[in-house]
Amino acid sequence: MKILIQLVLTALLAWLLQGLFHLPWWSVAIAGMAASVPQKTTPGQSFLAGFLGVFILWSTVAFLADSANESLLSAQVGQLFPSSPSSFALVLVTGGIGGFVAGLSALTATFLNTTFRKPKQ
């Protein structure tokens, strides 16, 4: 449950920062960090929540753009990459990169949070 809440919060925040306020791509790190703060997830859980939150958001947005475009562009961009990934693979790579950055940020935030904040007794 904690993971799910953090996941949804991450995705929502990232969408707000990027889709609405047009902040640069690395704002997913901010979303990942911010969403982890109120949660009491373990570092592992936090990474997973951050990763999945942005992975789902980025893959979905990329997938929708790709469908409307009938993979015209992704088929070409795939050729720019070493192993020429398919359009769908490119969607997953996109989600993976965004997700990894958000996950790592969430993990870092959780670590910092539990290390430096005095436990409330």
Task: Report how far apart, in Å, the C-alpha atoms of 39 and of each of 3, 5, 78, 82, 89 are.
Answer: 8, 8, 38, 39, 32
Question: Could you tell me if 26 and 35 are in contact, meaning their C-beta atoms sit under 8 angstroms apart?
Answer: no
How many CB atoms are closer than 10 A to CB 5?
14
Give first-to-last CA distance, the chain, whole Å.
24
Nearer of residues 4 and 67 to other proteins, judged by Cβ: 67
Asked if 19 touches other proteins (CB under 8 A), the answer is yes
Asked if 24 touches other proteins (CB under 8 A), the answer is yes
Asked if 101 touches other proteins (CB under 8 A), the answer is yes
Q: Which of 116, 117, 120, 121 binds other proteins (CB under 8 A)?
A: 116
Nearer of residues 9 and 58 to other proteins, judged by Cβ: 58
Asked if 51 touches other proteins (CB under 8 A), the answer is no
* Total chain residues near other proteins (CB under 8 A): 38
Task: Report how far apart, in Å, the C-alpha atoms of 31 and of each of 1, 6, 28, 61, 111 are.
Answer: 19, 10, 5, 17, 16
Nearer of residues 38 and 67 to other proteins, judged by Cβ: 67
Question: Could you tell me if 95 and 55 are in contact, meaning their C-beta atoms sit under 8 angstroms apart?
Answer: yes
Contacts to other proteins by CB under 8 A:
18-19, 22, 24-26, 29, 58, 61-62, 65-66, 68-70, 72-74, 76-80, 93-94, 97-98, 100-101, 104-105, 107-108, 111-112, 114-116
